[in-house]
Amino acid sequence: MPTPSPDKIAKIEVFRLPPRWVFVRVESEQGVVGWGEGTLEGHTEAIEGAYQDLAERFIGWDADQIQNIWQHAYRSRFYRGGPVLMSALSGLDIALWDIKGKRLGVPIWQLLGGKVRDRVKVYGWIGGDKPADVADGAAARRAQGFTAVKMNGTDGLDWIDSPALLQDTVARVKEVKATGVDVGIDFHGRVHKGMAKQLARMLEPLQPMFIEEPLLPTQPEEIADLSRMVSTPIALGERLFSRYDFRPYLERRAIDIAQPDVAHCGGISELHRLASYTETYDVSFAPHCPLGPIALAACMQVDLTAPNFFIQEMSLQMHYNEGADLLTYLVDPLVFEIKNGYVPALTGPGLGIEINEDLVREMAAKYADEKAWRNAVWTGPDGALQEW
């Protein structure tokens, strides 16, 4: 096949959209359009500023040189890494892979070496930030085709709190398990060490699918200690932004499931590297993705190629999705149809999805004067700040 002629980046546009997403549209000089997502929930304005910088640096570069652009975006400035810079890089990287796949007429997974599976196992959310009505939620998810769900383990907790609150968590998990679905329990970094040890032990007999962020990601040693206390798989990674951030967890044998977020970790390029890196440590791969359709499609491109892939988060009808949902901006929402717990492989060129650009522009204009999404701020009975 003849090598395509160079096609330079001509335009980079950023769209702030409900419910809390940031899409990036990259157009080449030959008119090929790629879509990316670099959402950083709660820090939208910072991401928009980072995209302005990326546009100034990379408009005019060859859109095919994804690795070179990634390396320059990451390494050519003195400060590197972190949630803001990596999330912006993620959106650009995803869009460039979309362009490359469209130019060559193949899905991105073909460019990553081909797929090792035909479908991707998925799970949906139940219960919201303050978990309630989880049994009904699990039953509804099962009716939608899911065989697995995730729920928050607790509401806000003090550093050491009443053991009765942990009993409530156990009761909710039992209710969900009774519906016949598997369940992952997200501690969300809300539970400090003294309580997390107790809760992990109490949940262990119920055999949850995993415990996610049992402690804050600042605590690799303590998470490793907790991992050795229980047989439940430990999952973590949404607040780690590169393979370098994952290194201490892998070297300490602290996690069983890696959950990098494609919209935060450096896009498809770094997500693919992380799949291989975590496989080296016999760690499963389950990308975090409570975000939009572009991020989900990007995750799936890597999921299809990764031998150690386990399960994929998807945000369909998630509690954060107010004003728009996972399928809102798609021309064909059936690309994410769930059958017996799985979504079929995306087969179209690039990301394999078609974004409704007219609707994106309409919604971005409609919400231009709206305040960007912010997470809740929780305080305890004494007025002190609690982890959200």
Alpha carbon 230 to chain centroid, angstroms: 26
> In 237-343, which residue ranges form alpha helices assigned H by DSSP?
243-251, 267-279, 293-303
How far separated are the first and last CA of the chain, in Å rounded?
Answer: 52
DSSP string, 9-59: EEEEEEEEETTTEEEEEEEETT--EEEEE---TT-HHHHHHHHHHHHHHHT
DSSP string, 144-176: HT-SEEEEE--S---SS--HHHHHHHHHHHHHH
187 and 213 Cβ atoms separated by less than 8 Å:
yes
Q: What residues have CB less than 8 Å from 313, skipping those under 6 apart?
A: 122, 123, 125, 150, 259, 286, 287, 288, 289, 290
Phi, psi of 21 (to 5 degrees): -105, 155
43, 192, 264, 288: which is the annotated catalytic residue?
A: 288
> In 230-263, which residue ranges form alpha helices assigned H by DSSP?
243-251
For residue 154 the two structure tokens come to 């607790």
43, 188, 192, 272: which is the annotated catalytic residue?
A: 188
Residue 288 bears catalytic tag: yes
Residue burial 346-376, b: 16+ Cβ < 10 Å; e: rest = bebbbbbbebeeeebeebbeebeeeebbeee
**If DSSP codes are grouped into helix, strand and coil, which group holds residue 76?**
coil
Angstrom distances, CA of residue 35 to CA of 86, 266, 337: 17, 15, 21
Whole-angstrom distance, CA of residue 354 vs CA of residue 333:
9
Q: DSSP class of residue 317?
A: T
Q: Of how many residues is the chain composed?
A: 388
Active site residue ranges = 188, 288
